[in-house]
Amino acid sequence: MDSTQFNVKILSLSDKLFRLAKSMLRNTEAAQDAVQDLSMKLWEKRKQLDEVENVPAFTMRAMRNLCLDTIRKQGDEDELPAEFEFVAPNPHQQAEQKDLVGRVRDMIDNLPELQRTIIRMRDVEGMEISEIAYITSIKENAVTVNLSRARQKIREKILYEQKYVEANIWKE
């Protein structure tokens, strides 16, 4: 793979790679570093990329593995427990985050890593279940289950917050 092919096939994926890294690492600068790091690594191994059948999926998978390594090195300090329970926002938080869209993004960020990665690959990037299965190295059935769980959790949180906000409005 020469520099032109590399630019077309790899660097054109930079936005997708960045979004995946940001979703996993939940930090813009760390995500930018991860994209840069991966680009360099792939450039060094560009000859082997000629043998890869689906370069975009392979690259996304490499990005996910790199981010998982980063998370492991951080000792999972920032990672929330898998069964993280939604806590209703207090009035101060509500004042800070009146924007429900922003709250939904926070809800997605607070999902376990696999679920937030899958829901974003599907609903933001519009990927097929088979592609997500390859990138996350799990079976298609497991992707569907995790996707459903992620969406259900977000739905519950949205409805819960809606009720909470309405109840407080009536109190006032």
Partner 1 sequence: MERINKLLENYFKGETTLAEEAELKQYFATGTIAPEHKPYSALFQAFGQEVQQQYTTPMTIVLPKQSSGKRMWVRAVVYSGIAASLVLAVWIQRPRQEEDYAIIRGRRIDNPEYAQRYAEKKLNAVNEMLRYKLKPLMDAQALKDNLRNVDEGENDKNQIIE
Kindly tell me which of 71 and 121 has the beta carbon lying closer to partner 1: 121
Q: Which stretch binds partner 1 (CB under 8 A): 7-15, 53-61, 63-71, 78-86?
A: 7-15
Q: Do the beta carbons of residue 79 and residue 110 sit within 8 Å?
A: no
Q: Which stretch binds partner 1 (CB under 8 A): 30-38, 58-66, 71-79, 80-88?
A: 30-38
Residue matched to tokens 């939604």: 86
CB atoms within 10 A of CB 39: 18
- Give the residue, chosen from 90, 98, 126, 172, that forms a contact with partner 1 under the rule CB under 8 A: 126
Give the type of residue at 127: M
Nearest-10 crossing angle of helices 140-171, 129-136: 100
Q: Do the beta carbons of residue 40 and residue 66 sit within 8 Å?
A: no
- Give the residue, chosen from 35, 60, 71, 132, that forms a contact with partner 1 under the rule CB under 8 A: 35
120-126 long-range contacts, Cβ below 8 Å, gap at least 24? 120/19, 120/20, 120/23, 121/20, 121/60, 122/147, 124/19, 125/16, 125/19
- Give the residue, chosen from 8, 36, 65, 74, that forms a contact with partner 1 under the rule CB under 8 A: 36
Q: Which stretch binds partner 1 (CB under 8 A): 72-80, 90-98, 132-140, 151-159?
A: 151-159
Q: Give residues in contact with partner 1 (CB under 8 A).
A: 2-3, 6, 11, 14-15, 17-19, 22, 32, 35-36, 39-40, 43, 100-101, 103-105, 108, 120, 122-126, 128, 144-145, 147-148, 151-152, 154-155, 158-159, 162
